[in-house]
Amino acid sequence: MSALVDDYDVVLSDLDGVLYLGPVAVEGAVDAVRAVIGRGVRMGYITNNAARSPEVVAEHLTELGFGARPEDVISSPQAASDLLRRELPSGSKVLVAGTPYLVDEVRRAGMTVVETADDEPDAVIQGYDPDLAWPRLDEAAIAVQRGARWFATNPDLTRPGARGLVPGLGAMLYAVAVTTDQRPTIAGKPYPPLLESAIARTGARRPLFVGDRIDTDIMGAYAVGIDSLFVFTGAHGVRDLCEAPAQGRPTAIGWSLAALLQPRRVATQDAGGAACGAARVRVEGGQASIEADMTDRETQLDAAWALATLVWSGRAAADADTFARFDLLP
287-291 and 279-284 beta bridge pairing: antiparallel
Taken in order 110, 12, 216, 158, the sign of the CA dihedral is negative
Domains 4-48+191-255 and 77-186 share a fold: yes
| pLDDT interval class at 161 (50, 70, 90) | low
Calculate what percentage of the chain has a pLDDT beyond 70: 99
Q: Is the pLDDT of residue 162 over 70?
A: no
For residue 256, the model assigns a pLDDT of 95
Helices (H), the chain: 29-38, 54-63, 76-87, 100-108, 134-145, 169-180, 192-202, 219-223, 238-242, 297-312, 320-324
Q: Which residue has the higher pLDDT, 319 or 188?
A: 188
Phi and psi angles of residue 117, each rounded to the nearest 5 degrees, phi first = -65, -25
Instruction: Tell me the mean pLDDT in the region 144-160.
Output: 91
CB 298 within 8 A of CB 262: no
User: N- to C-terminal Cα distance for the chain?
Assistant: 28
CB 255 within 8 A of CB 233: yes
For residue 95, the model assigns a pLDDT of 98
pTM: 0.90
* Amino acid residing at 116: T
Given the residues 6, 7, 9, 16, the one annotated as active site? 16
**257-279 confidence digits (pLDDT tens):** 999 999 999 999 999 999 999 99
CATH of the domain spanning 77-186, picked from 3.40.50.1000, 3.30.70.3420, 3.90.1150.10, 3.20.20.80: 3.40.50.1000
Nearest to 220 by CA among 264, 253, 186: 186
* Amino acid residing at 225: G
Q: Where are the domains of the chain?
A: 4-48+191-255, 77-186, 268-324
- What are the DSSP calls for 204-271, one per residue? -SSEEEEES-IIIIIHHHHHTT-EEEEESSSS--HHHHHT--GGG--SEEESSGGGGGSPPP--EEET
| pLDDT interval class at 160 (50, 70, 90) | low
Least confident of 7-21, 50-64, 159-173, 223-237: 159-173
CA distances to 15, 242, 254, 263, 266 from 4, rounded to whole Å, are: 20, 21, 10, 5, 11
* Amino acid residing at 169: L
Q: Is the pLDDT of residue 121 over 90?
A: yes
Please provide the average confidence, as pLDDT, over all residues in the chain: 93
CB 106 within 8 A of CB 125: yes
Instruction: Tell me the mean pLDDT in the region 67-72.
Output: 93
Q: Is the pLDDT of residue 302 over 90?
A: yes
Q: Which CATH class is domain 4-48+191-255?
A: alpha beta
For residue 94, the model assigns a pLDDT of 98
Q: Is the pLDDT of residue 110 over 90?
A: yes
| Rounded Cα distance, 131 and 134, in Å | 10
For residue 46, the model assigns a pLDDT of 96
Q: Is the pLDDT of residue 321 over 90?
A: no
Catalytic residue status for 16: yes
| Rounded Cα distance, 50 and 75, in Å | 7
CB 117 within 8 A of CB 96: no
Given the residues 14, 212, 217, 302, the one annotated as active site? 14
Q: Is the pLDDT of residue 212 over 70?
A: yes
Q: Is the pLDDT of residue 285 over 90?
A: no
| pLDDT interval class at 134 (50, 70, 90) | very high
For residue 207, the model assigns a pLDDT of 98
Residues 6+ apart with CB under 8 A from 286: 315, 316, 317
Catalytic residue status for 14: yes
**173-182 confidence digits (pLDDT tens):** 999 999 999 9
